[in-house]
Structure 1
Amino acid sequence: MTQTTTMLALALLLFLSLPQLSHQLNQEGLFLQRVKLGLSDPSGYLSDWNDRDENPCGWTGVNCDSMNSSVTSVDLSNASLAGPFPIFLCRLPSLSSISLSTTTALTPLSLFPSPTVGICFSGVIPASFALFRRLETLNLASNLLNGTIPAFLSNLTSLKWLGLAYNPFGQLSRLTDLDVSNNLLSGTIPAVIFRLRSIVQIELYNNWFSGQFPSGWSNLTELRRFDASMNELAGPIPNELCELPLESLNLCDNKLVGLLPESIALSPNLNELKVFNNSLHGSLPSQLGKHSPLQTFDVSSNNFSGEIPASLCDKGVLEQLLLIQNSFSGTIPASLGKCKTLTRVRLRDNRFSGEIPVEFWSLPHVDLLDLGENSFSGPISYMISGASNLSVLYISKNRFSGTIPKEIGSIANLLEISASDNELSGQIPSTIVNLDQLGRLDLRNNKLSGDVPMGIGSLKQLNELNLANNGLSGQIPDGVGSLPVLNYLDLSENQFSGKIPLALQNLKLNVLNLSYNHLSGDIPPLYAKAMYRDSFLGNPGLCGDIPSLCTRKDGVKNRGYLWLLRSLFILAGIVFVVGFVWFGWKFLNFRKTKKGITMLKWRSFHKLVFSEFEILNCIDEDNVIGSGSSGKVYKAVLSNGEVVAVKKLCERPKIDNESFTNVSSEKDAFEVEVETLGKIRHKNIVRLWCCCNTGDCKLLVYEYMPNGSLGDLLHSSKSDLLDWPTRFRIALDAAEGLSYLHHDYVPPIVHRDVKSNNILLDAEFGARISDFGVAKIVKTANRGAEPMSAITGSCGYIAPDAVLFGLNPTAEYAYTLRVNEKSDIYSFGVVILELVTGRRPIDPEFGEKDLVTWVCNSLDQKGTNHVIDPNLDSAFKEQISKVLDIGLLCVSSLPSIRPSMRRVVKLLQEVKAGSKTRRATKDGEVSPYCCEDPLIKEDLSCEFLAT
């Protein structure tokens, strides 16, 4: 072999030993792959963004120039992506269009031009930016943006930082309305605000602004309305702000100190002034209202002192006068008695004194008159009859004297009379029985005398009657026992005599106090028990019915005279005989009718091996295993050894700190649950065996779940029983149950109270959805959001699209809600976060935040490891992280982004399959997370798309 031949052979051998060349992805494709790596892609939208092509022009959402194959636009709309804004898009030199509509959870977004790339954006800020509901940082500085700053930026409720510097916006000379309320803005109020020469309205409320007001307010000569309430602002109110011709100034709920500037009284346009919940002090400006058409004036919860300015209603338009919880003194100016426009007056908890101007009692439009906790004296004027719109009269804890005028009975709208702790005397006027809307009558601790009006039984709305510590006498009217909603009755420390009306047994009382009177005779049998002993103390004539009720000083029980004992024995014998005969008759009739008098209605939904009588025998307080807003739950062990759970509904459900329900009565909850569960057959929904109506209460009989509720187990010392595989199974079971309700049951059902406490666990920790008391059948064809009469759901689980409006913090509240299946999905997402983190939806550690907010903030600041329950095995971290992503998708603040429950089930199933599937990559290694999705089945290095 010649030297030349040898060299050729070696070259050929070297060439054959080199790796076979393949197509190489260009630089723009590599940039787009970096975009993909930075985003969570639960739906697999970017699955074809791989390196099998020379360029990305054929990829989903990518469009290129036909001449040079450069990327010109990227469309990620409807992709359900999550993560930071894809900054590598800014490195595409020919990119002219980015579409991110309905793509959520991208934070931060920075369009600051890169010096290396040289891209500068021009034109106006696109309206699609308003869809970035979770956007926290938006940097548009140093571009060529023009036009005006769009109002829709105020819809970015999560925005923390906004950079608009170095753009040709001009001097914003035409901007008239600046609204950045309800954000997380912090720091001091920026002085740049004083460049807005044409600004008319500035709304900064409900943020975290702190520090003192900057100077420069005199520049804003057109400013009319300024609202910086609900922040952390400190220091004094600037005088130059108050010198502006303001119409409305709202600085409530801050940390302001100092005086209310005198200059505020000189504003010719001021109609609203609210500075409540601060630490302001000193006297009010003496000319308040003299030059201003004041309508609303609220300085409650400060340290103000001095007298009420007599000029407050000089313009004759004052409607709300709220001064509660200050140190005001002096009398009510006579001029306010002529202020016919007043609707709400609250002067409670001050140091006012003297008599109330006569005309002040008769203001025709006042709905709430609150004069309590002062030192007012004198009588209640008969002219109070002129207050025809009055619904609440609160004058407790003063020194009012004289009689209660009979004219008070002509105020048809009265809902409450609270006049306790005064010096009122004379009789309770008989006309008070005309107040058929009255719900509360509190006259305790006065000097009233005489009888209780006999017609008091006509007050059908009365739920509280407190006449304690007066000099009232005569008998307790029988009519008291016919008040259908009365639950608080206190007649103690009076001089009532005679018998206790037997009709009191008809009442469902939370409080009963008849102690220290002169009552005699028999205590009604319902109350003749030791538990009611304190309700009858100090009545010597009631000593026979309750042991130890009356004990003489020598320790010997007062047994009465021998003839009385004999009479009692004879009476007891008669009662026994009559009772025995009555019981026998009842029992025979019960057996004859099969269902009995007390078993009015019985319905079964499955073949039963027990009778209704066994169920009744198991309703015992020793068998209670749980309770909630709608009733108690009992464990019933039947004669055949089977165990069932019995829910007893006997009282109207009450709104507590945990739940908000719109069930108006136990009848509603009972019928909803029966009609819903009676027809459902699914392995992941609790089975309703039967139900019955006993007349006094209603019973629902379910299959028994030995491991109780997920919430009780997860947040207890037994949480170690729930390892990650068990938690994952619970999540999948619950998802399948909800998916059945939303998609497979006809008509669809919205549960409306999905939470961990309503997910029950069987002996094998299989999960079942329970408690359908507030469920709603979706009847409309389009299944859109339906308005509800009140908030449904539980705190921490309610979706942000359930809008809760709170009015004045010292006033009433109103609630509105629009609910569809997307609300269930949000609540289920919270359950997933509970399973992943091991934390409750509301926790003191979170402060005013909830679990969703805590998880999102923690992920941003500290990463995934910080939110995962440390008790879970780290070997499952990858799967836990993917389930976490599903939960975050479910709790998206935008309902349209939340996946359907059918999709959630599929995603969880993919997680389950992915955790068991391994497949070889090009390099011969095994990829720990691969999927069988047909869209990427050809990609040997596939990414797991479980989330």
Structure 2
Amino acid sequence: MSPETASTTYRRNHLFLLLLIGFISVVSSDELESLLNLKTALGESNTKVFDSWRPDNSVCNFTGITCDDSGSSVKEIDLSNQNLTGSIPFDSICQLQSLEKLSFGFNRLHGSVTEDLNKCSRLTYLDLGNNIFSGPIPDISSMNGLLYLYVNSSGFSGTFPWSSLENMTSLIVLSVGDNPFDQTPFPMQVLKLLNLNWLYMANCSIGGEIPAGIGDLTELIDFELSTNYITGEIPKEISKLVKLWQLELFANNLTGKLPVGLRNLTKLQRFDASTNYLEGDLSEIRFLTQLTSLQLFENKFTGEIPPELGEFKHLVNLSLYRNQLTGTLPPQLGSWSDFNFIDVSENFLTGQIPPDMCKNGKMTELLILQNNFTGEIPASYSDCKTLTRFRVSNNMLSGVVPSGIWGLPKAEIIDIATNDLEGGITSNIENAKTLAQIFAAHNRLSGELPQEISMATSLNMIDLSHNQISGKIPATIGELSQLSSLHLDNNKFTGEIPKSLRSCGSLSDINMAYNSFSGQIPAALGSLPTLNSLNLSYNQLSGQIPSTLSSLRLSILDLSDNKLAGPIPESLSVDAYNGSFAGNPGLCSQKVSYFRQCSPSSSDTSGVIRTVITCFSVGSAVILIFLAYSCYLKKKSQNDDEARSLKEDSWNIKSFHVLSFMEDDILDAINEQNLIGKGGSGQVYRASLKNGVELAVKHIRNSDSGHRKRKHSGKQKSLEFDAEVETLSSIRHVNVVKLYCSITSEESSLLVYEYLPNGSLWDRLHTSKKLGLDWETRYGIAVGAAKGLEYLHHGCERPVIHRDVKSSNILLDEYFKPRIADFGLAKIVQTDSTDGSTHVIAGTHGYIAPEYGYTYKVNEKSDVYSFGVVLMELVTGKKPMEAEFGENKDIVFWVCSKLKNKETVLSLVDSSIPEVYKEDTIKVLKIAIMCTSRLPALRPTMRTVVKMLEDAEPCKLLNIIITKDDDGKKKTDKILS
């Protein structure tokens, strides 16, 4: 080659190289711009992931970015789980021509996904799951090379573009569950995806039957179709899926038997078909030896539990409750593995409790209640230190309760009720630091209640009724500061009722009937702010009825058949307590007709003493007048001192609305003359302003709330105050009580509300004030209160669980419009909570949802239950607890027991409601029944409740109830369960 030719070739190659470099530079510049656009769109995110995304840095060095082998093009964007917020600019991202992976899962991304997503045609991996998008998923048919598609739990709605999947024949993972899509039959396009090994379609509104073609997806290792509207039988073709590791079909409407051939799924480790209508026996299960978790609860299975389950080496979770199973539990059950959980409650099982389920010391829950088990409680469970729930009630167990059971260090519930068990509660209960609930009623327990029970400081419910326990109640019981329910009735207790109970500030329910208690009724019981039910009947109590009981709002009061004497307090001499004082011949009353009239001569004093009294009557009158005047001066002085003390404090006012008053206007109202009520967390005063506006002021003394306080600025500050301020300060809703401001000092805290002149719904339904509360007014209260709760659950930035919904916490304005009030127990659901629930026992007896007796976890559905009780109050006019319902029965039980035919249903309606409105009341009663379903999952949301209250037609309800006997239990049980 000549020098000239070589030079020309060199120049040509050099020019080509410069052009190539220039081209690459242009491509890199475009990709940089696309990524910087993405950064800008998500720039408000609280994350450091974008710190490296700078124009002076190489795109391939950006955090979350992977380039191709040449380093010239972006191949992957993985920004999952980075706390990102904002909307994704797909129009910009999809300009990345080499992009194959796009992962934004587990963030808080919002907005709609535009059609521009379809331009990312080279993607093999797309993850938009676990975000808060809105609107439908657009057409993605261009992505025919997709291998992985995750859009689960992302808030998408509308119709999923199933037709887009037809050409995605290489798809390995399809995860579309947990989205509120429009209901659709099982999408047949899925059956063409023969390479699928992971199919997640749970909770996305799939209906119809599972097609037989599902058997063609032989590569599946995970198939989840739970919480949908699936009907029909499980197809026998499912037995072809021999690679299955997990099969989830729970919470559907499946019928029929477990298909023959299910035994072929020998690699199956997790199987859940619970909450369906499946029937037949469990014989196919005995071949699935690799099972670790078997969940078939709430079906109609019959026959025996296969004995082979006792040989399963890996089984750790077994849940078969609410079926019709018979026979025994395999005696070796759980003895091979780190067995964790068993629930076979509500069957017809017999035999003894397998002794070795906690052999490896890992068991947390043993639930076998409501069966026919016999024999003793195996002593081995005394050493099961991991147990949190031990529930063996409603069986035929006998023998002595192993002493170690009472001292299990992690136990939260011990439930041995309704058996034939003996022995006593032992002193090692002092080790049960987490024990919250004891249910031991209806046994033959004896001995005395040990002093050490006061060291189980988490106790909130104790039911030892119907046993043979004797001796005195330990005076230290007052140390159980969280105690809310105490049932000791039908035992052999003696001695006095401990005055220390006044320290149990959360007590709402006391039953000590049918014992041999003596002495006087402690006046201190009247200081229990939340006491709702008090039964001290059939004892040997003497002395007068304490006037302090008048300050309580009691649904149940029974002091009958004692030795009480003297006048019945005037405020208790009302029809609501008719019969509460019978069997006390020493009582007298000015109002109750069947008691003798109280008079100066009603005592047994002698004539001499009467003469002496007569002689000194004038002198006594003078002395009394003098003492009364002295007390008046002293009380006035105390009030003046208190007023001066309030004025002298340094106050900090925090307003939440525009205020038309000054701090002094409120402080001036804190005096005895303006007191209008007492609550669990403070006294309430009415403040009348000069401009005619009236306000309600809750006064909380920071040193008066005992165990409910925590340190704050060197003083004790009320947790109820914190909860109420945090909850109400940001709420703006016509059906939630308005909080104008908080005023705080070192010594006191004040909350200033709007004043509601018509009191509470409880007052209007259950006291003499109920006159004039017609059905139209009641219905309006129901709708308004429902809207207030709907706002708390669905309209706030973070859902608010009220936790004490009841008629006394629904206040009424001058037009009888309702306001939800008293947020001292409210809980704001934290955004990082995994289940949106809270572990606190709270509420009022009669309104508390049944899950309180089963688990600590409560959520919005617990409020729904309580609201259902309020609806029943509105319809029936009854209190949540009435003697006519039966012992330990509530209004929910009573209502459900009457749902037999149209006549018995109509008999539930308050007799004061005219006939013309009774059809309308039944509509509300139906909603109340659904709200009080035993299972939280079957209760509607408050959003649904509002819609039903506004739109439901009464005639449909009557059909549902009337056809119960004609159509069988299945339809009605779904409503009443």
Q: Specify the TM-score bucket, using the shorter chain as the normaliser.
A: 0.5 to 0.7
1:469 is aligned to: 490
| Contact 1:266/1:291 (<8 A) preserved | no
Do the aligned partners of 1:631 and 1:647 also contact (CA within 8 Å) in 2?
no
What secondary structure, in the 3-state scheme, does the structure 2 residue paired with 1:318 have? Answer: coil
For 1:429-468, list aligned pairs within 5 A: 429-468=450-489
Cα distance in 2 for residues equivalent to 1:151 and 1:813: 32
Q: Runs of 5+ in structure 1 lacking a partner?
A: 1-60, 64-77, 112-119, 653-662, 709-714, 722-741, 743-748, 779-784, 794-805, 818-838, 858-865, 868-947
- Pick the aligned partner of 1:140 from 163, 167, 172: 163
1:199 to partner: Cα distance? 1.4
Name 2:449's counterpart in structure 1: 428
Instruction: Name the CA shift for 1:349/1:701 in 2 (closer, same or farther; >3 Å).
Output: closer
> Please, which of 242, 247, 251 is the counterpart of residue 273 of structure 2?
251
Residue 722 of structure 2 corresponds to which residue in structure 1? 668
- Measure the CA separation in 2 of the matches of 1:595 and 1:355: 67
Shift of 1:203: 0.8
CA contact (8 A) 2:355 2:378 kept: yes
Asked if residue 688 in structure 1 is aligned to residue 757 in structure 2, the reply is no
Counterpart residue identity of residue 290, structure 2: N
1:585 equivalent to 2:628? Answer: no
Shift of 1:854: 11
The answer to whether residue 286 in structure 2 is matched with residue 286 in structure 1 is no
Matched with 2:347 is: 326
Instruction: For 1:445 and 1:234, locate their aligned partners in 2 and report how far apart those are by CA, in whole Å.
Output: 42
SS at match of 2:390: strand
Q: Give me the whole-angstrom Cα distance separating, in 2, the residues matched to 1:754 and 1:415.
A: 21
Trace 1:72-221 onto structure 2 (pairs within 5 A).
105-106=135-136, 123-124=145-146, 133-140=156-163, 145-148=168-171, 150-154=173-177, 157-158=180-181, 160-161=183-184, 172=194, 174-221=195-242
SS of 1:281's partner is strand
Q: Is 1:393 matched with 2:414?
A: yes
1:543 Cα offset (Å): 3.6
1:751-798 deviations in Å (ceiling 9; x for gaps): 97799xx9x99999xx9x99997999x9xxxxxx964799699xxxxx
> Equivalent residue for 2:963?
none
- Quote the residue 1:527 is aligned against: 549
Whether the 8 Å contact between 1:270 and 1:294 is mirrored in structure 2 is yes
Q: Provide the identity percentage.
A: 22
2:397 is the counterpart of 1:367: no
Check the 8 A contact 2:370/2:394 in 1, yes or no. Answer: yes
Aligned partners of 2:110 and 2:226: how far apart in 1? 34
How far apart in 2 are the matches of 1:103 and 1:673?
Answer: 27
Relative contact order (alpha carbons < 8 A, sep ≥ 6): 1 or 2 greater? 1
User: What per-residue deviation string (whole Å, max 9, x for no partner) do you get for residues 102-146 of structure 1?
Assistant: 9953589696xxxxxxxx985548979888912414243797555
Aligned residues of 1:327 and 1:351 also touching (Cα < 8 A): yes
Partner Cα distance (2:540, 2:397) in 1: 34
User: Aligned pairs, how many?
Assistant: 674
Distance 1:791 1:812 in 2: 13
Q: 1:537 to 1:451 in 2, by over 3 A?
A: same
Of residues 272-281 and 235-244 in structure 1, the stretch that sits farther from structure 2 once superposed is 235-244
Distance 2:945 2:799 in 1: 23
Q: In 1, are the aligned partners of 2:178 and 2:202 still within 8 Å (CA)? A: no
Deviation at 1:287, TM superposition (A): 2.0
SS in 2 for 1:390: coil
- Say which structure is richer in helix: 2
Q: Which residue of 2 aligns with 1:230?
A: 251
Is 1:700 equivalent to 2:730 in the alignment? no
What CA RMSD, in Å, does the superposition of the two structures yield over aligned residues? 6.2
TM-superposed CA distance for 1:180, in Å, is: 0.8
SS of the equivalent of 1:688 reads strand
Counterpart of 2:604 in structure 1 is 561
Q: Secondary structure at the match of 1:425?
A: coil
Secondary structure of 1:217's counterpart equals helix
Is the CA contact 2:313–2:337 (under 8 Å) kept in the aligned structure 1? no
Choose 194-203 or 452-461, whichever is displaced more: 452-461
- Taking a change above 3 Å as real, the CA distance of residues 596 and 511 of structure 1, as seen in their structure-2 partners, is farther
Per-residue deviation, 1:420 = 1.1
Equivalences for 1:859-874 in 2 at 5 Å? none
Aligned equivalents of 2:779, 2:511: Cα separation in 1: 50
Report the CA distance between 1:252 and its aligned residue: 0.5
1:643 equivalent among 693, 700, 704: 693
Matched with 2:887 is none
Against the structure 1 CA distance between its residues 575 and 216, is the aligned structure 2 distance closer, same or farther, given a 3 Å change threshold?
farther
Q: What code does the residue aligned with 1:551 have?
A: P
Once the two structures are TM-superposed, the CA of residue 238 in structure 1 deviates from its matched residue by: 1.7
- Tell me the residue number matched to 2:263: 242
| Distance in 2 between residues matched to 1:556 and 1:786, nearest whole Å | 62
- The structure-2 alpha-carbon separation of the partners of 1:425 and 1:194, relative to structure 1 and needing over 3 Å to count, comes to same
For the pair 1:517 / 2:551, whether they are aligned, the reply is no
Question: Which residue number in structure 2 is paired with residue 499 of structure 1?
Answer: 520
Distance (whole Å) between structure 2 residues aligned to residue 702 and residue 478 of structure 1: 37
CA distance in 2, matches of 1:809, 1:148: 46
Larger deviation: 590-599 or 459-468? 590-599
3-state SS in 2 of match to 1:234: coil
Change (3 A) 1:139 1:288: closer
Tell me the equivalent position of 2:427.
Answer: 406
Describe the SS at the equivalent of 1:235: coil
Matches within 5 A, 1:762-911: 787=832, 811-813=855-857
The answer to whether the 8 A contact 1:110-1:140 is kept is no
Query: Residues 645, 322 of structure 1: CA spacing in aligned structure 2 closer, same or farther, 3 A cutoff?
Result: same
CA 637–355 in structure 1, closer or farther in 2 if over 3 Å, else same = closer
Q: Give, in whole Å, the separation in 2 of the partners of 1:201 and 1:380.
A: 44
Superposed displacement of residue 436, structure 1: 2.6
In structure 2, the CA distance between the partners of 1:546 and 1:170, relative to structure 1 (3 Å rule), is closer
Q: Which protein shows a greater Rg?
A: 1
CA pair 213-144 structure 1, distance change in 2 beyond 3 A: closer
SS at 2:310's partner residue? coil
Aligned to 2:4: none
CA 1:427–1:222 in 2, change beyond 3 Å: closer, same or farther? same
Q: 1:105 to 1:468 in 2, by over 3 A?
A: same
The alignment partner of 1:317 has SS state of coil
Q: Scaled by the length of structure 1, what TM-score is found?
A: 0.58
Secondary structure in 2 matching 1:212: coil
Which shows bigger deviation, 471-480 or 328-337? 328-337
Q: Deviations over 1:333-359 (max 9, x none)?
A: 444575643221111111222322233
Report deviation, 1:273.
Answer: 0.5
Partner-residue secondary structure (3-state), 1:352: coil
Distance 2:595 2:665 in 1: 53
TM-score by length of 2: 0.56
- Give the counterpart letter for 1:510 in structure 2: N
Check if 1:538 corresponds to 2:581.
no
- 1:304 is displaced (CA, Å) by 0.9
Q: CA deviation at 1:501?
A: 3.5
Q: For 2:605, give the aligned amino acid.
A: L
Aligned to 1:921: none
Contact 2:120–2:143 under 8 Å retained in 1: no
1:700 match: secondary structure: strand
Check if 1:486 corresponds to 2:538. Answer: no
> Hey, what's the Cα distance between the residues in 2 that align with 1:390 and 1:479?
26
